[in-house]
Amino acid sequence: MFRKLLVTFMMIFVINLAFISNPSVSIAQVSGEVPGKTLGLKSDADLWRYIRTGNAGSTQMKDELSAVMIQSEGDNWRAIRNGPVSLYGGLGLLGIIGLLFAFYMYRGKIKVETGLAGQTILRFAAIDRFAHWLMAGSFVLLALTGLNLIYGKYVLLPIFGPEIFTAITIGGKYIHNYLAFSFMLGLALAFILWVRHNIPSKIDWEWLKMGGGIFKAGMHPPAKKFNAGQKMIFWITMIGGLSVSMSGIALMFPFQTTMFADTFALLNVLGLNLPTDLTALQEQQYNQVWHGIVSLGLMIMIIAHIYIGSVGMEGAIDAMNSGEVDRNWAKEHHNLWVKEMDEKKKSNPEPAE
Ligand code: HEM
C-alpha cells in the first residue's frame, strides 16, 4: 500500500516537474495544439488513443490492472447497469405485481371445487420442505439485499438518510455474501430431490394446451407430481440459480475467472462474433451485468410462484407447511400423482413418499 502511494506520488511529482520545466506544454494546451509536438515514432495522438481505448502499459506495481489508465468499457458498463438493467428490471417487477393483481381481480382465489375432503395425502417429506425453505428463505433475503444495491439509493436513501442507509447497505452486503452459500445448498438439494419428477413428458403438452386450467373454473388438466408450469419453474430456477451463483462467486472473488471469454468462444462456434480477448476488468463487468439481469428475471418469475403457492390457490401452501395436502386438492391439480400414490400404497402398505 505504502509502496503504491510512493510510486503514485513520484509519478505526479515527475509529471508536474516536466510541466514546470517546459511551460510551452501548458501554452500549447491553451492554444489547442497537441502537447509535446512529438515527431518520434509515435505521435501524441497515437499515444492518447492507445490509452483511451483501454490498452495496458507497463507498471512497477504488482497489480496488472493498474497498468490500464483509462477503461472506457467502464462507462458502457455503468450506463447499462444504471440504464436498461435498472429500468426494465424495475418495470418487470412492477409489471408482474400489476398482472397478478389483475389476475386476482378476474379469477379470485382458485378454490378446491369439490370442497375439502378432510383427508390428507403426504406431498412433501421433511427433507423436501427443508430444501425448499432453505432455497426460498435465502433467495428472498438475497433478492431484497440485491434490490437495495440497485434501487436503494432512489428508494431508501431519501426516506432514511445517509447514515441509516449506509448501515442497511453494509449489513445487506454481508447478508448477501453469506446467504449466497445457503441458497446454493438449498438449490443443489432441491435439484437432487426433485429432478426425477421434472423430466418433460407428453402429458405436459396437454396441460399447456389447457392453459394449466387456471383461467376457468372446472378445468383440470392432467398432471403427475409436478405439472408443466411447475416443471418450467423448476428448470428456470435451477439453470438461472446456477448461473446467478457462478457469476456471484466470480464477483466475490474478482479477476479470477474467464467464464465470459470461454462462453463467448463456445458461442462463436455457432457463427457469432463475440469478443473473446476480454481483460480481467471486462470479465468482471460482464459478470456484474449478467448477475443483475438473471437475478431480476428470477425475481419476476418467483413473485408469480409465491402468489400461486400462497394467496392465489386454496390449499397449495399446505404442501410446503405440513407437507400434507387435502386429497381433493391433490385430485384436482395432480390427478395422475394421486393415482400413482394410491397404487403404491396398495402394493406396499408403508407410506411411499
Ligand atoms: C417465499 C414464498 C414461497 C412460497 C409461499 C412458496 C410456495 C411453494 C409451494 C406451496 C410449493 C409446492 C407446490 C406444490 O405442492 O405443487 C412450492 C414449490 C416450489 N418452490 Fe416455492 N414458494 C416460495 C418461494 C420460493 C422461492 C424463492 C423459490 C426459488 C428460489 C421457490 C422454488 C420452488 C420450486 C422450484 C418448487 C417446485 C416446483 C413448483 O412447485 O413450482 N419457491 N413453493
> Are residues 238 and 337 both part of a single domain?
yes
User: Hey, which residues does 325 pair with through a beta bridge?
Assistant: 121
The overall average pLDDT reported for the chain is 90
Whole-structure pTM value: 0.85
In a domain, residue 223? The reply is yes
**What pLDDT, in 10s, does the model give residues 294-329?**
999 999 999 999 999 999 999 999 999 999 999 999
Tell how far the Cα of 330 is from the centroid of ligand 1, in angstroms: 16
- What pLDDT is stored for residue 55 in this prediction? 81
**What pLDDT, in 10s, does the model give residues 176-229?**
999 999 999 999 999 999 999 999 999 999 999 999 999 999 999 999 999 999
Q: End of a domain among 67, 84, 104?
A: 67
Phi, psi of 68 (to 5 degrees): -95, 120
CB 250 within 8 A of CB 287: yes
pLDDT bucket at 348, cuts 50 / 70 / 90: confident
In a domain, residue 48? The reply is yes
Q: End of a domain among 21, 39, 67?
A: 67
- What pLDDT is stored for residue 349 in this prediction? 72
> Are residues 62 and 206 both part of a single domain?
no
> Are residues 50 and 113 both part of a single domain?
no
Segment 83-95 shows an average pLDDT of 98
Q: End of a domain among 67, 84, 109?
A: 67
Tell how far the Cα of 82 is from the centroid of ligand 1, in angstroms: 31
- Give nearest CA residue, ligand 1 atom 39: 230
The string of DSSP letters for 17-74 reads: HHHHH-HHHHHHHHTTPPTT---SSS-HHHHHHHHHTT-B---SSS-GGGGBS--THH
Tell how far the Cα of 317 is from the centroid of ligand 1, in angstroms: 9
CB 187 within 8 A of CB 237: yes
In a domain, residue 171? The reply is no
Which residue blocks in 120-227 are alpha helix, DSSP H?
126-194, 202-209
Distances (CA, A) of 231 to 100, 123, 196, 202, 225: 20, 16, 11, 13, 10
- What pLDDT is stored for residue 17 in this prediction? 47
Side chain identity at residue 76, one-letter code: N
Cα 165 off chain centre by? 23
> Are residues 41 and 116 both part of a single domain?
no
* Cα 20 to Cα 24: distance, rounded to the nearest angstrom: 9
What's the total number of domains in the chain? 2
CB 77 within 8 A of CB 285: yes
Is residue 33 over pLDDT 80? Answer: no
In a domain, residue 313? The reply is yes
Give Cβ neighbours of residue 293 (< 8 Å, ≥ 6 apart). Answer: 85, 89
Tell how far the Cα of 320 is from the centroid of ligand 1, in angstroms: 8
> Are residues 32 and 112 both part of a single domain?
no
Is residue 140 over pLDDT 90? Answer: yes
> Are residues 63 and 202 both part of a single domain?
no
Is residue 42 over pLDDT 70? Answer: no
223 close to ligand 1 (CB < 6 Angstrom)? no
- Please report, for the domain that includes residue 232, its CATH number: 1.20.950
Is residue 32 over pLDDT 90? Answer: no
- What pLDDT is stored for residue 57 in this prediction? 82
Instruction: Indicate if the alpha-carbon torsion angle 291, 297, 300, 305 is positive or negative.
Output: negative
CA dihedral 13, 19, 21, 23 (to 10 degrees): -160
> Are residues 228 and 302 both part of a single domain?
yes
In a domain, residue 41? The reply is yes
pLDDT bucket at 20, cuts 50 / 70 / 90: very low
CB 338 within 8 A of CB 330: yes
- Give nearest CA residue, ligand 1 atom 43: 309
In a domain, residue 153? The reply is no
In a domain, residue 167? The reply is no
Residue 186: Cβ-neighbour burial (10 angstroms; 0-12, 13-18, 19+): buried
- Give nearest CA residue, ligand 1 atom 42: 136
**Which atom, in ligand 1's list, is nearest to the CA of 319?**
15
144 close to ligand 1 (CB < 6 Angstrom)? no
In a domain, residue 162? The reply is no
* Cα 143 to Cα 124: distance, rounded to the nearest angstrom: 25
> Are residues 116 and 6 both part of a single domain?
no
**Which atom, in ligand 1's list, is nearest to the CA of 123?**
15
pLDDT bucket at 170, cuts 50 / 70 / 90: very high
- What pLDDT is stored for residue 12 in this prediction? 52
Q: Which of 33-37, 128-132, 260-264 has the lowest mean pLDDT?
A: 33-37
**What pLDDT, in 10s, does the model give residues 243-300?**
999 999 999 999 999 999 999 999 999 999 999 999 899 999 999 999 999 999 999 9
Phi, psi of 315 (to 5 degrees): 85, -15
288 close to ligand 1 (CB < 6 Angstrom)? no
- What pLDDT is stored for residue 160 in this prediction? 98
* Cα 25 to Cα 43: distance, rounded to the nearest angstrom: 15
Side chain identity at residue 212, one-letter code: G
> Are residues 63 and 77 both part of a single domain?
no
* Cα 329 to Cα 117: distance, rounded to the nearest angstrom: 8
320 close to ligand 1 (CB < 6 Angstrom)? yes
> Are residues 229 and 306 both part of a single domain?
yes
> Are residues 226 and 334 both part of a single domain?
yes
> Are residues 85 and 59 both part of a single domain?
no
- Give nearest CA residue, ligand 1 atom 34: 234
Pocket test for ligand 1, best of 128, 132, 199 (most atoms within 8 A of CB): 132
- What pLDDT is stored for residue 25 in this prediction? 47
- Give nearest CA residue, ligand 1 atom 27: 136
The range of the structural domain enclosing residue 215 comes to 73-124+198-347
- What pLDDT is stored for residue 350 in this prediction? 64
**What pLDDT, in 10s, does the model give residues 47-82?**
888 888 778 888 887 777 788 888 888 999 999 999
* Cα 318 to Cα 68: distance, rounded to the nearest angstrom: 57
**Which atom, in ligand 1's list, is nearest to the CA of 226?**
16
Tell how far the Cα of 233 is from the centroid of ligand 1, in angstroms: 9
Pocket test for ligand 1, best of 189, 214, 314, 320 (most atoms within 8 A of CB): 320
pLDDT bucket at 41, cuts 50 / 70 / 90: low
